[in-house]
Amino acid sequence: VRGLLIHQNLPSSFTADEEFDELCFEFGLELDEITSEKDIISKEKGEEKAKGASDVVLYKIDVPANRYDLLCLEGLVRGLQVFKERINLPRFEKIIPAEGEGQRLIITEQTAQIRPHAVAAVLRNITFTKDRYDSFIDLQEKLHQNICRRRALVAIGTHDLDTITGPFTFTAKAPSEIKFKPLNQSKEYTASQIMDLYRTDSHLRHYLHLIENKPRYPVIYDSNGVVLSMPPIVNGDHTKISLNTRNVFIECTGTDITKAKIVLDVIVTMFSEYCEKPFTVEAVEVVYPNGKTHIYPELAYRTEKVKPEYINKKVGISETPSNLAKLLTRMCLKSHVTGNGNHLEVEIPPTRADIIHACDIVEDAAIAYGYNNIQMVIPKTYTIANQLPLNKLTELLRLDLAAAGFTEALTFALCSQEDIADKLGMDISATNAVLIANPKTTEFQVARTTLLPGLLKTIAANRKMPLPLKLFEISDIVVKDPNTDVGARNYRHLCAIYYNKSPGFEIIHGLLDRVMQVLEVPPNEENGYTIKAAEGTAFFPGRCAEVFAKGQSIGKLGVVHPDVITKFELTMPCSVLEINIEPFK
């Protein structure tokens, strides 16, 4: 879900706010909060800091993450106006200039390894006001954070076309060969200097990693060698747009051509209404390294056919085909009945990239009909819910372990590589652990393969508590398994630990006997459980045993090795039991 802030210069009215809240709900949105800049600062930093802040009313609206057309005021107002049937959905037109008069963007082969795709368009004779300009910039930022995945997939550049001359070239050069004045800077820098300049910038530093280790940086030039932008980092100051800009050149570069086309379509459809000829966009010819050309923006309209009974069945209503067509038209999906009422022909405009499948059309019909208006019915199928056997067993064991005097702990499913390998005297490759690709901290590098480190860390954090410390946990561990569809498998483990001045191996052994007693597993080799002497890197030599039950090894118990105790910053001996309880479910 993405947030949209609407500025309202008029005083807020309780009745009007209620009506707007209701309208948002009917349209499938949520009015999250009505506030002001002053209120926000007051809540976060106190009333003293809020003095002098703006009292302008702000409406915070939660927008579904796939509705890119609602991320700016223009799109939201247009959508609500069509929904209330006050206006018809505008039709967007792509104007292709006469041969030799239009703009061209030439992509060179050097971009192939960095950002191989680029699309572009021109908004002609546009009129900006302060609010329109702010909304234009804000939409770009919201798209960057949303569909563009923080500029990793797509980066947007907007330029004053009257300050540059086409054709434009999208290429890639060594950082030392790129030199220009970045946006809002006073002098020229090389690309390497720009990266150093923005390393401490609160906004742009988050995007530097996208290209900083590449041998070449992407860059866009005009025919005179003027730098438009160095995507995805920063635009050039020479081409910056202002309130006086009349012609805007928009370029979107990226690694995903589909996302780039969607982003370009969203920007031009939202702001082409301010052009001299509303809802028209001038096309740009993009020339690829292989010599092929393509005209952008696509602004593609497509039609889908949906059966009225399919919509009625899925939503749980019984509307006529003509009524369903009217409902969909209110959701910016122009529809009409075809084939003797057997089908609805739905036109998908370029603003609705979220419509992928018939079920998306059904969802919009349900929103327009009103979820609160759908009659509740008793399900035709009666089912009785039941607890998963493994979860039921887990709950019963937790009660018995608590009754045995042990306290339950709940530890993180993620831990550091050191916790499950080095500290337990193992190599990380031997643990078969699932590694996190981009861990935020060293404490969350892998999925745990044993519950022991979590309990030892819990004891380390509670050393001041009176002895003995008796803890247990019954939770999942994760190991790699190439035979599963996700490449990993969960196992439900039981781990108990006894920490005191003496190891207390007999207490842990007694707990194992009690667990097997409640599981009705007898102490014999044929159809029960046995323990046999074993070795383990985490255990004291000669003080470790392997537990066998149901014809398989289910875990180990023993006295923890002094080295392991020291590495977890503990000073007393302890004994531990860890078994897999899945064979008993």
176-209 tens-digit pLDDT: 999 999 998 989 999 999 999 999 888 888 899 9
Please answer whether residues 195 and 278 qualify as being in contact, where contact means their C-beta atoms are separated by less than 8 angstroms: no
Query: Which residues share a beta bridge with 346?
Result: 304, 335
Query: How confident is residue 10, by pLDDT bands cut at 50, 70 and 90?
Result: very low
The per-residue pLDDT for 13 is 52
Query: How confident is residue 396, by pLDDT bands cut at 50, 70 and 90?
Result: very high
Q: Is the pTM of this model over 0.85?
A: no
Amino acid letter, residue 204? L
Average pLDDT over residues 362-386: 88
The per-residue pLDDT for 38 is 78
User: Number of H helices and number of E strands within the chain?
Assistant: 15, 28
Q: What is the C-alpha to C-alpha distance for residues 337 and 326, in angstroms, rounded to an integer?
A: 10
The per-residue pLDDT for 285 is 94
Query: Which residues share a beta bridge with 488?
Result: 480
Percent of the chain having pLDDT more than 70? 97
Instruction: Render pLDDT for 90-128 as a digit per residue (tens, 0 to 9).
Output: 999 999 998 878 899 999 999 998 999 999 999 999 999
Residue 391 token pair: 């979860």
* Domains in the chain with CATH codes: 3-62 (3.30.56.10), 93-296 (3.50.40.10), 303-368 (3.30.56.10), 389-584 (3.30.930.10)
Query: How confident is residue 322, by pLDDT bands cut at 50, 70 and 90?
Result: very high
Burial zone of 152 (CB within 10 Å; 0-12 exposed, 13-18 middle, 19+ buried) = middle
Please answer whether residues 104 and 284 qualify as being in contact, where contact means their C-beta atoms are separated by less than 8 angstroms: yes
Instruction: Render pLDDT for 246-286 as a digit per residue (tens, 0 to 9).
Output: 999 999 999 999 999 999 999 999 999 999 999 999 999 99
DSSP assignment of 95-131 equals: E-PPTTTSEEEEEPGGGTTT--EEEEEEE-SB---HH
The per-residue pLDDT for 64 is 87
Q: What are the distances in angstroms from CA 480 to CA 440, 446, 460?
A: 21, 11, 29
